[in-house]
Amino acid sequence: MINSNWHTEQFEAHRTHLRSVAYRMLGNWSEAEDAVQESWFRLNRSEMDEIENIGGWLTTVVSRVCLDMLRSRKMRREESLETTEIERVIHREAKGDPEYEVLLADSIGLALLVVLDNLSPYERVAFVLHDIFAVPYSEIAPIVGRSEAAARQMASRARRRIQGAKITSQTDLFMQKKLVDSFLAAARSGDLDALLKLLDPGVVLQSDRKNTPNEVHGTHDVAEQLMWGRAKAARPALINGEVGVVVSPGGKLLLVLSFSYADGKIVRVDVISDPARIKKLNLVMLNEKQA
């Protein structure tokens, strides 16, 4: 019979690894903590004498928990935009936690998390386990409930999609974030001069909104289109991996402003209001003070 202290010691010895696995799979610190906690509960309910490799066993358990969470998340996001609020929020509860900061600075930055979010739950689990943690396909197969060959194909598809995606560098994201924060401050205060300084002289705005011009050119005309009354409901967000703006009064997603950048200026603005187009975007909310 194995005592509870040994239980705890073994689990704590693997906690950091489990957090790392869960965070990379889920892209959400709070959910990662929940997944790790669930693995602890399951360990306590298990017969330790029957577990040969506790590290591998815990990795398998936390991976299965994450897979269930990803599948549940996908089902929630398939609900109508009109009946759900924006859910994809980057949690900052762990700010200041050295382990969390290392994860953010590591190979999986915010932009890559957005790309991973476009994968199916099974592809994401297979890719993270094999390509980031070098788990063999023979061990991944039972986690995803597929054959070894199928698990290999899942990771391969995920790898191709990631390699083909545009992944913005953290430095570029920081610059974009500063521009968007300045844009929101100018729009909310009605400071036209401040807004003009953020726009490239050749800036173009395209919009699918009704009763508005489809295309506008030039800093003054574009700026006037952007000084709209819903700025207080606007927030910064990652939109397909680059920083833009979402407008969500009362939590209902109304508009998305997708920006293109060059030489520290905004060179293009796409105003998207069509729910069908919005549904195809990958959105991750950002805190306005988050760099």
pLDDT tens digit string along 184-236? 999 888 889 999 999 999 999 999 988 888 999 999 999 988 876 667 788 88
Task: Name the CATH topology of 4-164.
Answer: Butyryl-CoA Dehydrogenase, subunit A; domain 3 (1.20.140)
**DSSP 3-state assignment of 90?**
coil
Q: Quick check: 279 and 118 in contact, CB under 8 A?
A: no
Q: Tell me which residue of 252, 235, 232, 254 sits closest to 244, measured CA to CA.
A: 235
Domain boundaries, the chain: 4-164, 170-285
Please give the Cα distance from 24 to 19 (Å, whole number).
Answer: 8
Residue 121 confidence (pLDDT) above 50: yes
pLDDT tens digit string along 255-280? 999 999 998 899 999 999 998 898 88
Please give the Cα distance from 33 to 125 (Å, whole number).
Answer: 17
Share the mean pLDDT of the chain: 81
pTM of the model: 0.60
CATH code that applies to domain 170-285: 3.10.450.50
